[in-house]
Amino acid sequence: MGDRWDALQDAFGRDPAYHELKAGLLKSYFLDEASLWAARALEVQPGQQVLDLCAAPGGKSLVLALALGGQGELTANDRSSARRARLHRVLEEHLPPELYQTVKVTGHDAVSWGIHRPDRYDRVLLDAPCSSERHVFESPGHRSRWTESRTKVLARQAYAMAASALLTVKPGGMVVYSTCALSPLENDAVMDRLAKKKGDGLEFLPARAPWGEPTERGWQIWPDSAEGRGPIYFARFRKREIKEEGDE
């Protein structure tokens, strides 16, 4: 982070800027306002088939379920049984019955999802497991697990999940890839690798939020310039539709 690290540390030392998600819910849910924009970037419409590939703890799933408005289906997936239990609680406690009935919770491996369910969803949100530097700064437990090689391992895993998301979204459908990391290896570098390996199968779409700045592939919200929001990175891409032979 170079000279910016001092300002980032100061921002991490302050309380995050939370948004109260309230309208349409049984009770309020508070989430980082930067996360709200990452979920909204998926542009979910009523009636769509939507997948939240790494859904726990559930804040972004609430945003997606509200966008569906009781029409369509949201699959909220998380492989971890402990995180999935929390996801269940969040959804049950906050969603009214007409929205809750459109949500299905699953516990599959995000890396292999696309192989088993190709061309299945209109929208896919991949909020990938990441370094989460805010947690590293705030939590001794997270700090003790952090190593220089950890971001490289997470980046490789994130690429595999992003490739899976591309497989499972329908032709013409959209994927939003997001992290709460600052590490470029887990953000633009993952998207660069996806473009290199799968470039004929996708096109990147503009990404924007009220705070932060553009990157080569997406958008980065920095806590030091966003009044404590973030960090959040997100990028958007669409799966190209396959042209049949003879199509112009």
Cα 168 to Cα 111: distance, rounded to the nearest angstrom? 11
Q: Provide the 8-state DSSP code for 195.
A: H
Cα 238 to Cα 220: distance, rounded to the nearest angstrom? 19
Alpha carbon 165 to its chain's center: 11
130 flagged as catalytic: no
If one counts every other C-beta atom within 10 angstroms of the C-beta of residue 124, the result is 29
Options 11, 130, 180, 221, the catalytic residue: 180
For residues 8 and 1, the answer to whether their CB atoms sit within 8 Å is yes
Cα separations (Å) of 236 from 46, 85, 187, 204, 208? 20, 29, 12, 6, 10
The set of catalytic residues is 180
